[in-house]
Amino acid sequence: MALANKETTNVVQRRGTLAARKARLPLVSLVLGGLAFVAIMTAIPMAFLYAQTDVVQGPAQRIFYFHVPIASVGMFAFVVMAFTSIMYLWKRDERWDWAARASAEIGTVFITLTLITGSIWGRTTWGTWWSWDPKLTASLVLWFMYISYLMVRSYMGRTSASANAGAVIAIIGVFDVPIIYEAVNLWRGLHPAAQVGVPGALPSDVVLTLMVALAGFALLYSFLMLQLYQFQKLQTFAQRLRATVEYDM
């Protein structure tokens, strides 16, 4: 019995040091980070100097170049989280769970920023910080789902039960968001509709600036994804090592 314990301890420790050695970030993350930096640094002057001022909304419309990409990435992160959660339940490989949790953490930040930038814009254009519009309500509910996901994950620790619970929340959530959107849409609607891709709706400089910003934030997401995935991995290994030490004592 004691021998068996010693052996498992050794195995876990060896695995831990191996992981620590492998834990260095791949070069691709540096490249992604650099590209994200360049794209966002290009998008900022483009949004303020290159893109024309909106005739109706005035300079307040410029927040759109950050609000729309951040919102898109925040929602995309939820889809990634749900997809990786399904893969986790299917394949039973904890790497999928690390990816899901990493995506949830980034998505929470992005949706929080979406709500803040949207409120600032709403204040100047609608004259109110908040309205119960479908897009706003769906974003807010998405934000609540992200927060409750992270709360459950942090309450339950790094166990497989926690990973299962998180995966179920993500899957239920990804089915619920479109229904919530539809329900609030039937209830009331006010948010401006998407005009990208509608021919002649947006001037080309506006579309170009938006695309650069979108690319920048997408790159930022993939950069952060790699960082946080690595972070999740290290935390899991660190906790396992700590558990073996506590067991020996």
Partner 1 sequence: MSANRVFFEQVWAILAKDVRYELRSKQTWTSMGMFALLVLVIFNFAFDLRVENKAAVAPGALWVAFIFASLLGLGRTIAAEREQGSMDRLLLCPVDRKAIYLAKLLGNLLFISVVEVVALPVYAALFDVPLLTGKLVPIVVLGTFGITIIGTLFATLAAATRARELLLPILVFPLIVPVVIAAVRATEALLVPTANEPPWLGLIIAFDLIFLSVSTLTFQYVIEE
Cβ closer to partner 1: 18 or 179? 179
**Residue 171 binds partner 1, judged by CB under 8 A:** yes
- Rounded to whole angstroms, the Cα distance separating 3 from 154 reads 33
Q: Does 168 bind partner 1 (CB under 8 A)?
A: yes
Cross-strand pairs, 51: none
Q: Is 93 in the site for partner 1 (CB under 8 A)?
A: no
Which of 152, 202, 207, 238 is the binder for partner 1 (CB under 8 A)? 152
Instruction: Please report whether residue 113 would count as binding partner 1 according to CB under 8 A.
Output: no
Enumerate the H helices of 126-203 as residue ranges: 134-156, 160-187
Q: Work out how close the CB of 53 gets to partner 1 at its nearest, in angstroms, rounded to a whole number.
A: 37
Scan residues 177-206 and list those touching partner 1 (CB under 8 A). 179-180, 182-184, 186-187
Of 174, 179, 172, nearest to 134 by C-alpha is 179
Tell the smallest beta-carbon distance from residue 102 to partner 1 (Å): 20
Tokens of 234: 């290290």
Q: What is the rounded distance in angstroms from the CA atom of residue 175 to the CA atom of residue 169?
A: 10
Count CB neighbours of 52 within 10 A. 10
Q: How many other CB atoms sit within 10 Å of the CB of residue 204?
A: 8
Point out which residues bind partner 1 (CB under 8 A): 89, 137, 141, 144-145, 147-148, 151-152, 155-156, 159-161, 164-165, 167-169, 171-173, 175-176, 179-180, 182-184, 186-187
